[in-house]
Chains A and B, each alone.
Chain A
Amino acid sequence: MQHEPAEIAIVGVGQSDFRALYAPTDRPRDAYALAAGALREAIDDCGIDKDEIDGLLCSRVEYGRLATVLGLRNPRFVHDLEGSGRMSGVALQEAVALIANGAADVVACVYGNNGRSARMRYGGEGGGPTVAYDEMYGMTSPGAYVAMMYQRYRGMYGASEDALAPLAINNRRHAALNPAAVLQKEITREDYLESRFIAEPLRLLDYCLINDGAVAFIVTSMERARTLRKPPVRVAATAGMAHITNYYTAEDFFYSACQDVASRLYRQTGIAPEEVDCLQIYDNFTPTIVFTLEGFNHAPRGEGWSWVDEEKIRHDGPRPLNTAGGHTSESYMQGWAHHVESVRQLRGEAGARQVPGCRTVQYMCASPIVTSHILTNDEAVAR
């Protein structure tokens, strides 16, 4: 059965207890067991029967093993997405497209990551397309390519040395309100400035964590969603655009791709950026938040660094940002946990970090595949 793209909802979410999983372990945890645990929670969350799942999208775990573990023997559509952060938004886009065109009715999107216990490293082990020509200069790791962008950004716009501190502080403050967050000890501007450089100008506190965990969400039509356990979260609109070059570094900080995606989203929903109640921004490294705020018209170009203010972006401030603690403090689930937090905010399930009166959330990811969604709990959204 086909559906209008805006008549599709996230109905169930599940994720690991990231904090419990941060405890040391001698052996790598099983990413498939983690993924199955997250999906079990998502199934319980919406009350749908496991056998109703007829679409399975996987990232960082593969469908062959996962479907076996889950006993999902006959899905109508399966697809493995690569295990990179840019794919979390793509997974939801693909689920929406599958349901809209009738290829599947209930799609499970599942991510499992045992990076910490498996001693995963980011950097020093090859990877990017031109890495063969970069390593002889000691160049490696996604953070270093982001640091390249941020150094230039500072040179263009005069961002101060502590310009990123409010973002690191904000993530940690929200993590302190999130029982599942890995790092909950609040930090100060002094702590930020004392943290060691990794790829200068970026410091340790600008960097994402590496931790074990899994996330799942279940997507179906609004029609089916209305009969399920919890209020549906509508995918009011979603859009994407790639910006692919030899390097993770984008010479315009992903601005033009973000602008293209933003213009389509705001036009399709009739929602202006200042009307979004809660911002969930992919934050592999803190400068990415600044680039995203500008690319999506939440802050003027070149002024994102001064726009971020600790009082403005806290959960009870005027522009709540990364309310679960983000990749630097809650969990590095490569954008997947940001989706769960979006749903929880729209359902009023975010506990001590709940955004008052939250009706509209925007997920944004500025990366070689830029994606963004506007999610709402309001069935009467203008289109």
Chain B
Amino acid sequence: MNAESYERLLPEITPENRPFWDGLAENELRLQCCDACGEYRFPDSEVCPRCLSGSFSWRAVSGKGRLWSWIRMHQKYFDAFDEVRPYLVAYIKLDEGPAVISTLGETPDDLAIDLPVRAVFEPGFSERTVLKFTVERPEPVA
């Protein structure tokens, strides 16, 4: 993958979203949580979408969720992904509520909706740590 063209796809780090990126660098998924009603939200926003409070804290969350759905992208839309096509994109529902677009670090052949997943933290193709997920396999029943 072309690192330079990939860099251009990364969101700019701003004062508003820096805690999210700092969290990933420390292998933690952090989301804004409303101080008034406890609602988690993603992406970052100045107000709570549930109660409109402007008071919030960044909190580490479990990183657990489920694979709501996924696609395999065949079309070339980005130079950075040209050579890895088709590639998997996942829609993950976090246990805390918000949904995120991400990918799976390893892709098992037997994907199914609602498989449990957990966050993994990978340097990706730049110095920035990127959020990915991996399928949680239940312990085999003895």
Q: Which residues of A contact B72 (CB under 8 A)?
A: 197, 199-200
Q: Which residues of B contact A149 (CB under 8 A)?
A: 69
Contact status B78-A199, CB under 8 Å: no
8 A-B residue pairings within 8 Å (CB atoms):
A132-B11, A133-B11, A136-B124, A138-B78, A197-B72, A199-B71, A247-B99, A249-B91
Which among B32-40, B57-65, B100-108, B134-142 touches the partner chain? B100-108
Q: B25 at interface (Cβ–Cβ under 8 A)?
A: no
User: Closest B-chain residue to A130, C-beta based?
Assistant: B43
- Name 15 extra pairs, CB < 8 A, besides A136-B6, A137-B101, A148-B89: A123-B75, A130-B101, A133-B101, A137-B89, A137-B102, A138-B87, A139-B73, A151-B69, A152-B68, A156-B113, A197-B86, A198-B74, A199-B72, A245-B99, A246-B42
Contact status B112-A155, CB under 8 Å: yes
Q: How far is the CB of A183 from chain B (nearest CB, A)?
A: 19
Q: How far is the CB of B20 from chain A (nearest CB, A)?
A: 9
Q: Which residues of B contact A134 (CB under 8 A)?
A: 101
Q: Which residues of B contact A223 (CB under 8 A)?
A: none
Q: B120 at interface (Cβ–Cβ under 8 A)?
A: no
Contact status A246-B11, CB under 8 Å: no
Contact status A133-B100, CB under 8 Å: yes
Q: Which residues of A contact B99 (CB under 8 A)?
A: 245-247, 249, 251
Task: Give A90-141 interface residues, CB cut-off 8 Å to B.
Answer: 123-124, 129-130, 132-141
Interface flags for A219-257 (1: CB within 8 Å of B; 0: not) read: 000000000000000000000000001110101000000
Contact status A199-B73, CB under 8 Å: yes
Q: A265 at interface (Cβ–Cβ under 8 A)?
A: no
Contact status A138-B81, CB under 8 Å: yes
Q: How far is the CB of A120 from chain B (nearest CB, A)?
A: 14
Give the CA-CA distance A155 to B91 in the complex, in Å: 14
Q: A135-B9, A136-B130, A144-B73 are in contact. Are A152 and B113 (CB under 8 A)?
A: yes
Q: How far is the CB of B121 from chain A (nearest CB, A)?
A: 14
Contact status A138-B43, CB under 8 Å: no
Q: A147 at interface (Cβ–Cβ under 8 A)?
A: yes
Interface flags for B78-116 (1: CB within 8 Å of A; 0: not) read: 101100101101010100000111110000000011000
Give the CA-CA distance A197 to B87 in the complex, in Å: 12
Give the CA-CA distance A199 to B87 in the complex, in Å: 10
Q: Which residues of B contact A246 (CB under 8 A)?
A: 42-43, 99
Q: How far is the CB of A201 from chain B (nearest CB, A)?
A: 7
Give 3 nearest A-B pairs by CB, closest first: A124-B77, A155-B113, A152-B69
Q: Which residues of B contact A139 (CB under 8 A)?
A: 73, 89, 101
Contacting residue for A197 out of B6, B42, B74, CB 8 A: B74
Contact status B73-A201, CB under 8 Å: no
User: Closest B-chain residue to A121, C-beta based?
Assistant: B77
Contact status B75-A198, CB under 8 Å: yes
Q: Which of A138, A148, A196, A251 has the most CB of B within 10 A?
A: A138
Interface flags for A198-230 (1: CB within 8 Å of B; 0: not) read: 111110000000000000000000000000000
Q: A130-B101, A251-B99 are in contact. Are A201 and B75 (CB under 8 A)?
A: no
Contact status B75-A136, CB under 8 Å: no
Q: B10 at interface (Cβ–Cβ under 8 A)?
A: yes
Contacting residue for A151 out of B12, B71, B84, CB 8 A: B71
Give the CA-CA distance A251 to B94 in the complex, in Å: 13
Contact status B77-A123, CB under 8 Å: yes
Give the CA-CA distance A97 to B37 in the complex, in Å: 38
Contacting residue for B86 out of A123, A130, A200, A249, CB 8 A: A200
Task: Give B1-24 interface residues, CB cut-off 8 Å to A.
Answer: 6, 9-12
Q: Which residues of B contact A196 (CB under 8 A)?
A: 74
Q: A130-B101, A133-B101, A137-B102 are in contact. Are A144 and B89 (CB under 8 A)?
A: yes
Contact status B74-A199, CB under 8 Å: yes
Interface flags for B114-134 (1: CB within 8 Å of A; 0: not) read: 000000000010000010000
Give the CA-CA distance A245 to B97 in the complex, in Å: 13
User: Closest A-chain residue to B69, C-beta based?
Assistant: A152
Q: Which residues of B contact A123 (CB under 8 A)?
A: 75, 77
User: Closest A-chain residue to B87, C-beta based?
Assistant: A138
User: Closest A-chain residue to B102, C-beta based?
Assistant: A137
Contact status B43-A141, CB under 8 Å: no
User: Closest B-chain residue to A128, C-beta based?
Assistant: B101
Contact status A136-B9, CB under 8 Å: yes
Give the CA-CA distance A246 to B38 in the complex, in Å: 19
Q: Which residues of B contact A147 (CB under 8 A)?
A: 71
Q: Which residues of A contact B81 (CB under 8 A)?
A: 138
Give the CA-CA distance A262 to B67 in the complex, in Å: 31
